[in-house]
A and B are shown apart, each in its own frame.
Chain A
Amino acid sequence: MAETATAAQAPSQRSDEVMIELRGVHKWYDKFHVLRNINLTVTKGERIVVCGPSGSGKSTMIRCINRLEEHQQGQIIVDGTELTSDLKQIEHIRKEVGMVFQHFNLFPHITVLENCVLAPMWVRKMPRKEAEEIAMNYLGRVKIPDQARKYPGQLSGGQQQRVAIARSLCMNPRIMLFDEPTSALDPEMIKEVLDVMVELAESGMTMICVTHEMGFAKTVADRVIFMDRGEIIEQNEPHEFFNNPQNERTRLFLSQILNH
């Protein structure tokens, strides 16, 4: 477990403005019922950690929030816009929602800097000079400004994931989604990525993070959500969640994950 577990709880910067709302969301892959009646409200600045056993639908749920997956029933409202099949609205929401993937998904054919300026230039129509300034600023914040001219394939996993975070931040999103950002990394690289995420959390970003890094959950999460078989089984603030889980399945999951 990363060292962040011992750090002090970061101050919360929540407000009452609702950023993400899922109402009675259901999703099927063919006949397989992946998401079952998901209800979730995330307010501005809230930091949410989602955990649960493999195959429980965590990735599917957060991928529905930026419409990488389509839901079939219920409502998803992101930053005041409802997700429907309207392409304009989907693109609008994707501009506001950054996503970091387990396998980084950097674009290997262009340099790190190009990775970062591409979306701001083509989607936000930002002039190159301004986009590069912003990109260098974020690359500095994730502590790899000196790698800007390299290609992704020349970086370590941890460096690549930090580039991926910087690339998302360059679009100046209001919400960040993380799908197991550290689970493809070697142990010594996990900390460097988590540190960046903690810093981001402290800056007041609204975040939903699927992760099994319980130390991270304890330090920065405002709320921990436990999912199993497509449902949200339990949610609570981290202290209560870890020390006093209400549901049998949560207890079982926590005992497995904390005692290995």
Chain B
Amino acid sequence: MAEFVPHPELPPPASSVGVIGWLRRNLFAGWLNSLLTVAALYLVVTALPPLLNWAFFSADFVGESRDACDSGGACWVFVNARFSTFMYGFYPAAQAWRVDLIFGTLLLLMSPLFFKGFRYKLQLGGFILFVYPWIAFGLMHGGLLGLPVVETAKWGGLSLTLLLAAVGCIAALPLGVLLALGRRSTNMPVVQTMCVVFIEFWRGVPLITVLFMSSVMLPLFLPEGVSFDKLLRALIGITLFQSAYMAEVVRGGLQAIPKGQYEAADALGLGYWRKMGLIVLPQALKIVIPGIVNTFIALFKDTTLVIIVGLLEILGMVQNALNDPNWLGFSTEGYVFTAFVFWIFCFSMSRYSQWLERKLHTGHKR
């Protein structure tokens, strides 16, 4: 009987591993791929140096006025000089620490949520979602603990952008979940119809008209002497608008949950709300994280539209500064800076969602 000799273990051929292998597989696999690689390389080589030159090498960073900008590149002096209005709007400079405190505390509060071993995630999350907004509002608005009142009309800049986006996201998600559940509750036709009408109405109108109506039309319907805050009206408009989108995203997730999950929860006697809260929604929301974050990102960028009702978030403040006779002609720098700020936030959200998806992955279904 022939003895079994195991085949010796061999290293993979040199051309399939290492730098060369990587290049060959990813950049030069076939003539089309090689052509595209070369074309892309050409674009990078021709476009990148002038761009870097404009933004960094021949740009001016320090100075007091436009006279400091004589190198021919970008004039970041403009952004520098107006930085605090871009961040805080017309919030009094002496009180700006309140805004810093609010967002700094928020970051501190959120950081334990990223650690695996932290045990009170649910409680902390609940605190951030339901309690902290009120504390933040109190601090921002003032009028208690001896803090001077700062009218909402003075809020602006990036802090207003973040406020609009945060309130929009925090309020739109639960509202959207409720609407999605309502739309799927076939055994309660009245609730279902109401949810369908609500969703279809808000999805059918552009956000800009919603904002416009909230500031121009709404006061016409309110009784004489009753007015409510412009910012609040914009917030309500944005929230209702986004909740309709959120509802449809969440509904997509609900539909992806197999019927057996509902049945198993029913058979255990969990009841409607526990079935939804403990079994169905955790799975459905996990599936639609990309969709939810997508909606959040869209919302974040849509906040710029509040400019038409006279609220100046970061883009509004930049445009406002561009009208300043001392700084005429620096719109490129202003818009590039704004785009960069938006990109930082949106990209972080996108990365966070990918991290969350990976973290929540618990193996195959069934």
Residues of A within 8 A of B (CB): 66, 68, 87, 91-92, 94-95, 97-99, 101, 103-110, 118-119, 122-123, 151-154, 160, 167-168, 171
Q: Report which residue of B264, B278, B362, B364 has the largest number of chain A beta carbons within 10 angstroms of its beta carbon.
A: B264
Which residues of the other chain, B, contact A107 by a CB distance below 8 angstroms?
261, 264-265, 279, 283
Apart from A106-B366, A123-B268, A153-B365: 11 A-B pairs, beta carbons within 8 A = A94-B268, A103-B260, A105-B264, A107-B279, A118-B268, A118-B278, A119-B268, A119-B270, A153-B364, A154-B363, A168-B268
List B336-366 residues whose CB lies under 8 Å from chain A: 360, 362-366
Task: Kindly report which residue of chain B lies nearest to residue A94, judged by CB atoms.
Answer: B269
The answer to whether residues A98 and B264 also contact, given A109-B362, A118-B278 and a CB cut-off of 8 A, is no
B266 is an interface residue with CB less than 8 A from chain A:
yes
Task: Tell whether, in the assembled complex, residue A105 and residue B271 are in contact, meaning their CB atoms are under 8 Å apart.
Answer: no
Residues of B within 8 A of A (CB): 258, 260-261, 263-271, 274, 278-279, 282-283, 286, 360, 362-366
B22 CB, nearest partner CB in chain A, Å: 33
Task: Tell whether, in the assembled complex, residue A153 and residue B366 are in contact, meaning their CB atoms are under 8 Å apart.
Answer: yes
Complex CA distance for A108 and B258, rounded to whole angstroms: 11
Task: Tell whether, in the assembled complex, residue B366 and residue A108 are in contact, meaning their CB atoms are under 8 Å apart.
Answer: yes
Q: Report which residue of A106, A108, A160 has the largest number of chain B beta carbons within 10 angstroms of its beta carbon.
A: A108
Complex CA distance for A122 and B269, rounded to whole angstroms: 9
Task: Tell whether, in the assembled complex, residue A171 and residue B268 are in contact, meaning their CB atoms are under 8 Å apart.
Answer: yes
Complex CA distance for A123 and B273, rounded to whole angstroms: 12
The answer to whether residues A122 and B264 also contact, given A108-B363, A108-B365, A171-B269 and a CB cut-off of 8 A, is no
Task: Tell whether, in the assembled complex, residue B263 and residue A105 are in contact, meaning their CB atoms are under 8 Å apart.
Answer: yes
Complex CA distance for A95 and B271, rounded to whole angstroms: 10
Which residues of the other chain, B, contact A92 by a CB distance below 8 angstroms?
269
Main secondary structure of the interface of B (DSSP, over half): helix
Which residues of the other chain, A, contact B258 by a CB distance below 8 angstroms?
105
The answer to whether residues A123 and B270 also contact, given A68-B263, A151-B363, A153-B366 and a CB cut-off of 8 A, is yes
Q: Report which residue of B263, B268, B282 has the largest number of chain A beta carbons within 10 angstroms of its beta carbon.
A: B268
The answer to whether residues A122 and B278 also contact, given A95-B269, A107-B264 and a CB cut-off of 8 A, is yes
The 3 residue pairs across chains A and B that have the minimum distance between CB atoms: A153-B363, A94-B269, A105-B264
A239 CB, nearest partner CB in chain B, Å: 32
B362 CB, nearest partner CB in chain A, Å: 4
Complex CA distance for A8 and B270, rounded to whole angstroms: 38
Complex CA distance for A168 and B269, rounded to whole angstroms: 11
Name the contact of A68 in the complex, choosing from B266, B283, B286, B365 (C-beta under 8 A). B266
6 A/B residue pairs, CB under 8 Å, sorted by A:
A66-B267, A68-B266, A68-B267, A91-B271, A110-B362, A123-B268
A62 CB, nearest partner CB in chain B, Å: 11
Task: Kindly report which residue of chain B lies nearest to residue A153, judged by CB atoms.
Answer: B363
Which residues of the other chain, B, contact A91 by a CB distance below 8 angstroms?
269, 271
Task: Tell whether, in the assembled complex, residue B261 and residue A105 are in contact, meaning their CB atoms are under 8 Å apart.
Answer: yes
Task: Kindly report which residue of chain B lies nearest to residue A120, judged by CB atoms.
Answer: B268
Complex CA distance for A118 and B277, rounded to whole angstroms: 12
Task: Tell whether, in the assembled complex, residue B264 and residue A106 are in contact, meaning their CB atoms are under 8 Å apart.
Answer: yes
Task: Tell whether, in the assembled complex, residue A122 and residue B365 are in contact, meaning their CB atoms are under 8 Å apart.
Answer: no
Complex CA distance for A148 and B258, rounded to whole angstroms: 24
Complex CA distance for A122 and B268, rounded to whole angstroms: 10
The answer to whether residues A108 and B269 also contact, given A101-B260, A153-B362 and a CB cut-off of 8 A, is no
Task: Kindly report which residue of chain A lies nearest to residue B260, judged by CB atoms.
Answer: A105
Name the contact of A109 in the complex, choosing from B263, B266, B269, B283 (C-beta under 8 A). B283
Task: Tell whether, in the assembled complex, residue B366 and residue A103 are in contact, meaning their CB atoms are under 8 Å apart.
Answer: yes
Which residues of the other chain, A, contact B271 by a CB distance below 8 angstroms?
87, 91, 123
Complex CA distance for A226 and B279, rounded to whole angstroms: 35
Name the contact of B362 in the complex, choosing from A66, A108, A119 (C-beta under 8 A). A108
Complex CA distance for A105 and B270, rounded to whole angstroms: 15
A75 CB, nearest partner CB in chain B, Å: 21
Which residues of the other chain, B, contact A87 by a CB distance below 8 angstroms?
271
Task: Tell whether, in the assembled complex, residue B366 and residue A98 are in contact, meaning their CB atoms are under 8 Å apart.
Answer: no
Complex CA distance for A122 and B277, rounded to whole angstroms: 11
Complex CA distance for A59 and B286, rounded to whole angstroms: 31
Task: Kindly report which residue of chain A lies nearest to residue B274, judged by CB atoms.
Answer: A122
Complex CA distance for A152 and B260, rounded to whole angstroms: 14
Name the contact of B286 in the complex, choosing from A109, A153, A154 (C-beta under 8 A). A109
Which residues of the other chain, A, contact B365 by a CB distance below 8 angstroms?
108, 153
Task: Tell whether, in the assembled complex, residue B267 and residue A98 are in contact, meaning their CB atoms are under 8 Å apart.
Answer: yes
B253 CB, nearest partner CB in chain A, Å: 12
Task: Kindly report which residue of chain A lies nearest to residue B267, judged by CB atoms.
Answer: A99
Task: Kindly report which residue of chain A lies nearest to residue B365, judged by CB atoms.
Answer: A108
The answer to whether residues A104 and B263 also contact, given A109-B282, A109-B283, A123-B270 and a CB cut-off of 8 A, is no
Name the contact of B269 in the complex, choosing from A104, A123, A154 (C-beta under 8 A). A123
Which residues of the other chain, B, contact A68 by a CB distance below 8 angstroms?
263, 266-267
